[in-house]
Amino acid sequence: MNRIMQESVIKSLLDWIEENLHLPLSVDYVASKAGYSKWHLQRIFKDHTGITLGDYTRGRRLSECATILKITKRDIYDIALEYGFDSQPHFCRAFKNQFGVTPRAFRKSEILETRQFCAPIKYNSEPSLEANIVTLEKMQLVGKKKEIRSEVGDNEYFNFNSRMKSWDDHFPHLVDKPASLIGLVDYISASNSKREYAFQYTMATVPSDANMPADNGELITIEKGKYVKFQYDGAMDGMQDFLYKIYSVYLSKNKLIRRKGEDIEIYTPMMSSIKNHGINCQYYVPII
């Protein structure tokens, strides 16, 4: 098999793994699905990706488990079984080996420790995200908060349609459209469901641009802090993939820890392009 054919096989395999993380994904099982001997598949996988097949599948499954632990209140045992671990003790040992803490401790932590996440390998020529580490000064804002809930698996926290609907609903309360709009995203786990997660989204402006009745906004303070700053200019339907890359690829690859706080979205000029499905956004993630 020449190298071009190998690349095609590995690319298809990586896509298949992402779609089947809930399966046990032993090397024997993956090889049988790929139609190659496990020795040959392991050799070309390591040659093309730099990581062994077993380490990659285990790392991806545990990283998905870590995300679900953080954003839901699902039982640890249920998560372990769904992702192919035969027992909770087996899952807890594997999880601690990768993340250095137990699943329970990971869930309770106020930070999102991404340094041990295994990022999905995107076997293509897509450009990598560019970002800068910055410090934002203390900000005073006026905004309106909304909690958005979704079933696990819907990726609604990376789906931009819910944000746009919130802004559309909010616009009638603005007498004059401000020069810039600020979105605050606080990822929180849903309080009454093991299957749901929720995030709190705040539509805000600086006080001088508020122009809204007092009962439609509240004062919000964002303390001075350290952030990693991204820039997005493009179609609205590409924002979901942009956010996914930040959390699933960039933070882990760059060994960054997301601290407690809110992601900040600053749209400038104003989202005049909402109806035209275009976005110009500076996106800030709070880090240690």
- With helix as H, strand as E and coil as C, how does 104-144 read? HHHHHCCCEECCCCCCCCCCCCCCCCCEEEEEECCEEEEEE
Residue predicted with more confidence, 263 or 153 = 263
pLDDT at residue 232, rounded to an integer? 92
CA distance 50 to 161: 37
Domain of residue 177, CATH code: 3.20.80.10
Read off the tokens for 52. Answer: 């062994």
Q: Are residues 138 and 277 in the same domain?
A: yes
pLDDT at residue 277, rounded to an integer? 60
Domain of residue 18, CATH code: 1.10.10.60
Please state the pTM of the whole predicted model.
0.82
Total domain count, the chain: 2
pLDDT at residue 193, rounded to an integer? 59
Last residue of a domain, one of 80, 113, 146: 113
Q: Are residues 60 and 158 in the same domain?
A: no
Asked, for residue 158, whether it belongs to a domain, the answer is: yes
Residue-wise pLDDT tens digits, 233-281: 888 778 888 888 898 889 988 999 999 999 999 987 655 445 556 788 9
Domain that holds residue 145: 131-286
CB atoms within 10 A of CB 41: 21
Q: Per-residue pLDDT for 214 more than 50?
A: no
Q: Are residues 10 and 36 in the same domain?
A: yes
CA distance 279 to 276: 9
In sequence order, the β-bridge partners of residue 139 are: 222
Last residue of a domain, one of 83, 113, 143: 113
- The SS3 of residue 267 is strand
| Exposure string over 108-117, b if 16+ CB within 10 A, otherwise e | eeeebbbebb
Asked, for residue 136, whether it belongs to a domain, the answer is: yes
Asked, for residue 25, whether it belongs to a domain, the answer is: yes
Q: Are residues 262 and 139 in the same domain?
A: yes
CA distance 145 to 157: 15
